[in-house]
Amino acid sequence: MEVMDEYTRLRTEMVAAQIARRGLRDPRLLAAFQHVQRHLFLPQPLRSHAYEDRPLPIGQNQTISQPYIVALMTSLLELKGEENVLEIGTGSGYQAAILSIMARTVHSIERYQELADAGRARLVRLGCYNVQVHCADGSSGWPQAAPYQAIIVTAAAAAAPKPLLEQLAEGGRLVLPVGGSQGQVLQLWTRESGRLDYQDILPVSFVPLRGEFGWSEDDWGTPDKEE
Ligand code: SAM
pLDDT at 96: 98
- Determine the length of the chain: 227
Identify which of 38, 40, 90 to mutate to test ligand 1's pocket (most ligand atoms within 8 A of the CB).
90
The pLDDT value given to residue 121 = 98
Is 13 a domain residue?
A: no
**Residue 207 within any structural domain of the chain:** yes
Q: What's the total number of domains in the chain?
A: 1
- Looking at the domain assignment, is residue 226 inside a domain? no
Q: Is 96 within a domain?
A: yes
167 lines ligand 1 (CB under 6 A): no
Distance separating alpha carbons of residues 48 and 214, to the nearest angstrom: 33
CB-ligand 1 contact for 224 (6 Å cutoff):
no
Q: Does 39 reside within a domain?
A: no
Contacts (Cβ under 8 Å, ≥6 apart) of 221: 180, 181
Q: Ligand 1: does its nearest atom lie under 6 Å from the Cβ of 210?
A: yes
Residues contacting residue 152 through CB under 8 Å, at least 6 positions apart: 73, 74, 77, 85, 86, 87, 88, 95, 99, 174, 175, 176
**What is the chain's pLDDT, residue by residue, as a tens digit (227 residues)?**
455 589 999 999 999 999 999 999 999 999 999 999 999 999 999 999 999 999 999 988 899 999 999 999 999 999 999 999 999 999 999 999 999 999 999 999 999 999 999 999 999 999 999 999 999 999 999 999 999 999 999 999 999 999 999 999 999 999 999 999 999 999 999 999 999 999 999 999 999 999 999 999 889 986 665 54
- CATH (domain of 113): 3.40.50.150
Q: How far apart are the first and last CA of the chain?
A: 33
- Helices and strands (H, E) in the chain, number of each type: 7, 9
Is 8 inside any structural domain? no
Q: How far is the CA of 115 from the centre of ligand 1 (A)?
A: 9
Task: Name the DSSP letter for residue 19.
Answer: I
CA distance 106 to 111: 17
Q: Would you tell me how many other CB atoms lie within 10 Å of the CB of residue 166?
A: 14
Active site residue 65: yes
Q: Residue 84: what pLDDT?
A: 98
Contacts of 176 (CB under 8 A, 6+ apart): 88, 151, 152, 153, 156, 157, 160, 164, 186, 187, 189
Whole-angstrom Cα distance, residue 105 to residue 84? 5
CB of 179 closer than 6 angstroms to any ligand 1 atom: no
Tell which one of 115, 186, 209, 227 to mutate to probe ligand 1, the residue whose CB is within 8 A of the most ligand atoms.
209
Pocket test for ligand 1, best of 54, 111, 122 (most atoms within 8 A of CB): 111
As a whole number of angstroms, the distance between CA 85 and CA 174 comes to: 10
pTM for the whole structure: 0.96
Residue 10 belongs to some domain of the structure: no
Q: Is residue 19 part of a domain?
A: no
> What pLDDT score does 223 carry?
60
Instruction: Give residue 71's domain range.
Output: 53-220
- Angstrom distance (rounded) from CA 106 to CA 95: 10
Q: With a 6 A CB cut-off, is 74 part of the ligand 1 pocket?
A: no
Catalytic one among 48, 65, 108, 140?
A: 65
